[in-house]
Amino acid sequence: MPAAQPTVKTENKPLSAPQKALRKLGLDRDIDLALHLPLRYEDETRLVRLADTREGDMVQIEATVVSCEIAYKPRRQLLVEVDDGSDTCTLRFFSFYPSQQKALAVGNRLRLRGEVKGGFMGRTMMHPSFHPAGGELPQALTPVYPTSAGLPQVYLRKAVHSGLVHAARHGAFAETIPQESMPPSTLRYGKGRESNSGSVDAWGLAQSLHFLHHPTPDVSLAQLEDRTHPAWQRLKAEELLAQQLSQLQSKRARDLLRAPALKLRAGGLHEQLLGVLPFALTGAQRRVGEELAQDLMRQVPMHRLLQGDVGSGKTVVAALAAAIAMDGGWQCALMAPTEILAEQHFRKLIGWLEPLLSPLGKRVAWLTGSQKKKERTEMLALIASGEAALVVGTHAVIQEQVKFKNLALAIIDEQHRFGVAQRLALREKMQTSESCAGDAQQEPHMLMMSATPIPRTLAMSYYADLDVSTLDELPPGRTPIVTRLVSESRRDELIERIRHQIDQGRQVYWVCPLIEESEAIDLTNATETHALLTEALNPLGSAPVLVGLLHSRMPTADKKAEMAKFESGQMAVLVSTTVIEVGVDVPNASLMVIEHAERFGLSQLHQLRGRVGRGAAASACVLMYATGDSGRLSETARERLKAMVETTDGFEIARRDLEIRGPGEFLGARQSGAALLRFADLAEDVELLEWARDLAPKMLDQYPRQADQHVARWLGGKSDFLKA
Ligand code: ADP
Ligand code: MG
C-alpha cells in the first residue's frame, strides 16, 4: 500500500483551476481518483442509422450536411440538415460560434451525438455534439463522472484514468477480503461458485474498478446504472466493510481503556431515588436502566446511545444511572444543548436528588454561559472540591476552567446537537479529574441521549461502534396526539379553537415560521403573531389572557422569565420561534400550532409536536401551511406533512425522514462529508451491510494486516470522526 503520494505539484507552482477543483472534491491520492466512479455512461462505441432511431433515443450517427442556414423564427438559430443515406435530421443550435458554423458547412461529413426528437417537421436534434466523421470508435463506454464547476469532464477523465493506472501499478488494489468470504452478489454470473482451482470466482477489486471506469458495451446499462452489477456490488461491499472495520477498531480501542467500575448498592441512592419518584417506571425504562447498570459495572468505559421518542422518559433513566455513580462517591455531568433545557433538567433533578444528596453533604451544581461571575466561581469551586456530585449545564460544562474532582459519568442530552469536538472535550474532562490526573487510559462512562430514533440500517452502519438502548414504550396515561393540516387561510377558525382550549384551562404553543435567510424576519413574524394573538384573545370585557413571546435573540434572563410564566400556568399561550424545539416539558399544554409547517424538517416537526400530549388531556397539533406564489407545496414538503398526519411513531417518522433526506442530514455531529457512504445505499444494500458486519470482527481477528490495509485504502486519514 503506497503511503500518501509525493506532492509533486505543490510548493512553487500555483495550482491550476482544474487541479484546485480536484482537491476540493477530495481527489488527492491516486487511489482517491481510482475510487471516483462514473455517474453514468455514454455509448460512443457504435453508430446507428437514422432510419432506425426512435423518439427519445440517445444516438450516435455519421451524416453529411446538406444545408446550413441561420433562421430568425422564433429566435435566432442555426438550422443544419444532415443526411446519412437512410434518412435526414435537422440539427438546431440556439447558440453557436462562427467556427462551429464553419465546421457545419454544407458537404462536411460529421459524427454526431444527441437525443432524437420527433415532430411533424421530421427528426431533430438540439445542440448535438459533433466531430468530423471517421476515426476509430472507442471500445468501451465513455464514463461521465460527478464533477464540479471548473473541472471539465475531459480533464477529469484523464486524471481518473491516470490515477487508476498509477494506483494499480503501486499495488493499491491488492485483495484484502478473504476469498472464502466474498459476498454472493459479487460472484460471477452464469458460472458455478467454484472455479477449477477450487477458489471462489468473484469479481476482484482491480478488475471491478477497471470495468466500472471503462465497461465494455455488451454489458447491461441498466445493471450498471442501478448498481446491481457484480462489479458495483464489489465496490459497495468494500466500502461497507471499511466502515465496519474502522468502527470496530475504535470500539476495540475503547475497550482497552479503563473506567471506574460502579456498583449497585442495596439501599443506595439508586434505590432511594426510585422510592421518591412520583410514578412507576415503564417496562422499557426498567429494561434500559438495567442495561446501563450492567455497563457501569464494567471496568471499560460505557459508550451508549439511549434513544427514545419524545416524552418516553429518558431523563429519569439518566438520573438513575447518575445515582449509581454518585452513590459510589463519584461525580456526574449532564450537558444539554440549550439553557432552557438545561435549566429544566436542573430543576427536575434538584427536586428529586437534593433531598437525597444533602444528608451526604453533596449538591447539584449548575453551569451556563450566562451565569453571574460570582455564582459561577462558587459553582466551579463546588465542582473542583467534589461537593457537587452532579453538574448540570450547557456547553459551559466543557469549558476550560471547569475541573472535576472525580468525574465518572458524562451524559449528553440531545446528542445530535453537539459537535464532535464538544463530545471529545467532555471525555477529556475525565483525564483532568484529580482522581486520575495524567492517566490517559482512564475515561468516564458516556451516555448519549437522542429523541431522534435511528433507523436500523443507520444504527448498523454509521453507529456500529455504539451500543444502543431503546425506550420503545411511552409512560401510561398519554392520550394520542391528533394532527391536522390546516391552510393558512383558516387562521381565524384556529384562533377560535385556541380560545376554547384556554377556556378549559389548557395551554397552547404557537411556533412561528422558520425563515432561513434572516433571523430578523423570524423575529418580525413572531412579534406580529404575538400582537395579533394578544389582541384576538383579549376582547373588551373578558378576563385577560396572557400571551408570551420567546425568541432566540432575547436575553437569557427574559427567556427564563417567560418560560417560568408558561410553566406555572399563568401564561396561556406561548408564541415562540424554534427555541422550544427540544425537551421542554409542560404537561398542561395541549395544543401545538406550527405556522408555515411546510418549511420545517420532518424530525423537527415531530420534536415540536412532542411538546404536547404529555398530560392526560387530549392533545392536538395543527400544522398550518401556506403554498406561497406557486400555489402548491413542494413534493418533499407534501411528503413530510403527510407523514406527520399519518403517524406519531418516532421510529416510523425517522424511517421516512431517512427516505426523504438520505443519511447525511441524519447524522448530526457524526456527519462528515468524507465519511459518508458514497456508493452503498442503506435502503438497497442491507444484505451487503449485514455481510460486512459479520465479516468485520472475523477479519480483525484473523487477518489484522489486511484489515488495516483495507481501512487505509478507503478512509485514509479520515476516520477520526468516529472517535467521538
Ligand atoms: P424525554 O424522553 O423526551 O426526554 P422526559 O424525560 O422529559 O422525556 O419525560 C417526559 C415526561 O414524562 C416528564 O414529565 C417525566 O417526568 C414523565 N415521566 C417519565 N417517566 C415516567 C413514567 N414512567 N410514568 C409517568 N411519567 C413519566
Ligand atoms: Mg429530554
For residue 671, pLDDT over 50 is answered with no
Cα of 342 from ligand 2 centre, angstroms: 10
Do 508 and 572 contact (CB within 8 A), yes or no? Answer: yes
The average pLDDT across 243-268 equals 90
Nearest in space to 707 (alpha carbons), one of 243, 23, 18, 346: 243
CA-CA-CA-CA dihedral for 381, 383, 386, 388, to nearest 10: 110
Cα of 288 from ligand 2 centre, angstroms: 15
Three-class SS state of 604: helix
Instruction: Provide the pLDDT for residue 419.
Output: 65
% residues pLDDT > 90 (the chain):
45
Instruction: Provide the pLDDT for residue 720.
Output: 44
Three-class SS state of 68: strand
Instruction: Provide the pLDDT for residue 106.
Output: 94
- The CA distance from 334 to 418, in Å, is 13
Instruction: Provide the pLDDT for residue 521.
Output: 61
The whole domain housing 563 covers 481-647
Highest mean pLDDT among 438-447, 516-525, 580-589: 438-447
- The CA distance from 607 to 310, in Å, is 6
Instruction: Provide the pLDDT for residue 360.
Output: 93
Whether this prediction's pTM lies above 0.85 is answered by no
Ligand 1 atom closest to the Cα of residue 316 is 6
Looking at the structure, tell me whether residues 368 and 282 fall in a common domain: yes
The β-bridge relationship of strands 88-93 and 58-71 is unpaired
- The CA distance from 361 to 357, in Å, is 7
**What are the tens digits of pLDDT across the range 676-689?**
688 888 878 999 99
214 grid coordinates: 471503462
Three-class SS state of 197: coil
Is 211 part of a structural domain of the chain? Answer: no
Cα of 461 from ligand 2 centre, angstroms: 25
The average pLDDT across 491-508 equals 91
Residue 407 forms beta bridges with which residues? Answer: 331
Whose alpha carbon is nearest atom 13 of ligand 1?
Answer: 313
10 Å Cβ neighbour count for 303?
Answer: 21
Is 668 part of a structural domain of the chain? Answer: no
Last residue of a domain, one of 124, 157, 172: 172
Instruction: Provide the pLDDT for residue 518.
Output: 57
Degrees, nearest 5: CA angle 623-628-630: 125
Instruction: Provide the pLDDT for residue 2.
Output: 43
10 Å Cβ neighbour count for 266?
Answer: 6
Backbone angles phi, psi at 688, to 5 degrees: -65, -35
The average pLDDT across 449-472 equals 83
The average pLDDT across 651-664 equals 78
Nearest in space to 458 (alpha carbons), one of 236, 654, 242: 654
Backbone angles phi, psi at 715, to 5 degrees: -110, -10
Looking at the structure, tell me whether residues 415 and 498 fall in a common domain: no
> Is the shortest distance between the CB of 279 and ligand 1 below 6 Å?
yes
448 grid coordinates: 448519549
Is 351 part of a structural domain of the chain? Answer: yes
Longest dimension (CA), the chain: 102
Looking at the structure, tell me whether residues 302 and 427 fall in a common domain: yes
Confidence class for position 570, pLDDT limits 50, 70, 90: very high
Is 489 part of a structural domain of the chain? Answer: yes
Looking at the structure, tell me whether residues 348 and 396 fall in a common domain: yes
**What are the tens digits of pLDDT across the range 110-124?**
999 999 988 667 899
Looking at the structure, tell me whether residues 570 and 707 fall in a common domain: no
For residue 618, pLDDT over 70 is answered with yes
Looking at the structure, tell me whether residues 515 and 630 fall in a common domain: yes
> Is the shortest distance between the CB of 310 and ligand 1 below 6 Å?
yes
Is 230 part of a structural domain of the chain? Answer: no
Is 694 part of a structural domain of the chain? Answer: yes
Nearest in space to 314 (alpha carbons), one of 305, 326, 327: 305
Nearest in space to 43 (alpha carbons), one of 203, 224, 185, 270: 224
Instruction: Provide the pLDDT for residue 439.
Output: 62
Nearest in space to 140 (alpha carbons), one of 53, 38, 52: 38
Q: Residue 295 belongs to a domain with what CATH number?
A: 3.40.50.300
Is 424 part of a structural domain of the chain? Answer: yes
Do 212 and 228 contact (CB within 8 A), yes or no? Answer: no
For residue 374, pLDDT over 60 is answered with yes
**What are the tens digits of pLDDT across the range 149-172?**
888 888 999 999 999 999 999 988
Looking at the structure, tell me whether residues 628 and 703 fall in a common domain: no
> Is the shortest distance between the CB of 311 and ligand 1 below 6 Å?
yes
Nearest in space to 9 (alpha carbons), one of 710, 18, 193: 18
- The CA distance from 294 to 288, in Å, is 10
Do 108 and 65 contact (CB within 8 A), yes or no? Answer: yes
**What are the tens digits of pLDDT across the range 258-270?**
899 999 999 999 9
| 222-231, 286-295, 321-330: range with lowest mean pLDDT | 222-231
| 204-218, 625-639, 681-695: range with lowest mean pLDDT | 625-639
Last residue of a domain, one of 450, 471, 492: 471
Instruction: Provide the pLDDT for residue 635.
Output: 86
For residue 328, pLDDT over 70 is answered with yes
Looking at the structure, tell me whether residues 354 and 455 fall in a common domain: yes
Instruction: Provide the pLDDT for residue 525.
Output: 78
Last residue of a domain, one of 405, 438, 471: 471
Whose alpha carbon is nearest atom 25 of ligand 1?
Answer: 475
Nearest in space to 604 (alpha carbons), one of 479, 451, 472: 451
Looking at the structure, tell me whether residues 537 and 623 fall in a common domain: yes
Confidence class for position 675, pLDDT limits 50, 70, 90: low
Looking at the structure, tell me whether residues 580 and 618 fall in a common domain: yes
The average pLDDT across 303-324 equals 92
Is 640 part of a structural domain of the chain? Answer: yes
Cα of 373 from ligand 1 centre, angstroms: 33
- Which spans in 309-372 are helix H? 314-327, 339-357
Confidence class for position 188, pLDDT limits 50, 70, 90: confident
**Tally of domains within the chain:** 5
Instruction: Provide the pLDDT for residue 670.
Output: 45
Average model confidence (pLDDT) for the chain? 85
For residue 4, pLDDT over 70 is answered with no
CA-CA-CA-CA dihedral for 336, 419, 377, 362, to nearest 10: 50
Do 476 and 281 contact (CB within 8 A), yes or no? Answer: no
Looking at the structure, tell me whether residues 555 and 632 fall in a common domain: yes
Looking at the structure, tell me whether residues 638 and 511 fall in a common domain: yes
**What are the tens digits of pLDDT across the range 44-103?**
888 999 999 988 888 999 999 999 999 887 888 999 999 999 999 999 998 888 888 899
